[in-house]
Amino acid sequence: MRDYIRKRVVDVSLYIIKTKATVRQAASVFGVSKSTIHKDVTERLPRVNKELAIKVRKVLAQNKSERHIRGGEATKKKYSRARKVS
């Protein structure tokens, strides 16, 4: 694995743990695709640092369990903005 990829994998992982960010949020911060972030934390990270991989997996599992709530909030915001414009 190239050094810049290894560094990105660790940086992304630390960011996700620190901020409890979603894959989508991390992708926008680091300027890469969601697929790249997902591959970094699920496939590459366990080869680089197993302990860090476990911590990231816990955050991603929590995000996954809460995503239905976040989706509802986004829909609520969308329609409340539409009412204000009308």
pLDDT per residue over 29-52, tens digit each? 999 999 999 999 999 999 999 999
**Which letter does DSSP use for residue 63 in this model?**
H
The whole domain housing 64 covers: 3-85
Identify the pLDDT of residue 40. 96
Contact between residue 56 and residue 45 where contact means Cβ atoms under 8 Å apart: yes
Q: What pTM value is reported for the model?
A: 0.79
Task: Give percent of the chain above pLDDT 70.
Answer: 98
Identify the pLDDT of residue 20. 95
Please tell me the total count of domains within the chain. 1
